[in-house]
Homo-oligomer: A and B are copies of this chain.
Amino acid sequence: MSTYGDFEAIMLIRTPQDIGALLRESRKKAGLGQAELARRIGVSRQWVVEVERGKPRAEMGLVLRALNTLDNPLQTGLTAPYDGVADTPDIDIDAIVEAARQPR
């Protein structure tokens, strides 16, 4: 086992589920319970539970605060060259948008 334990060195955050997983891992790594973390962030236990489960409509400000509290700030990196499916694929944008509209 190395110095850094079993944490992913770099994790891409693309969905609320990613946020949830990251938050939960970080919390456990810090040896905190949901209640303690909630107290430090300034939210309810309920909030922590839901965000860890991938709640898509959580407040961004609270999420950022949570990550900062756990010493896991986000950052942007000009990661990938992007050659796969990304944007402007000439399809009906409106249709996609409509379908993507927060179902839950």
| B75 and A42 form a contact (CB under 8 A) | no
- Residue of A16, A57, A76 contacting most chain B CB atoms (<10 Å): A76
How many chain copies does the complex carry?
2
| B76 and A22 form a contact (CB under 8 A) | yes
Contacts of A14 in B (CB 8 A): 64, 68, 73-74
Interface size on A, residues (CB 8 A): 50
Contacts of A58 in B (CB 8 A): 59-61
A49–B62 Cα gap in the complex (Å)? 20
Write the residues of chain A forming the contact surface with B, with a CB cutoff of 8 angstroms: 4, 7-16, 19, 22, 39-42, 56-61, 63-65, 67-69, 71-79, 82, 86-88, 93-94, 96-98, 100-102
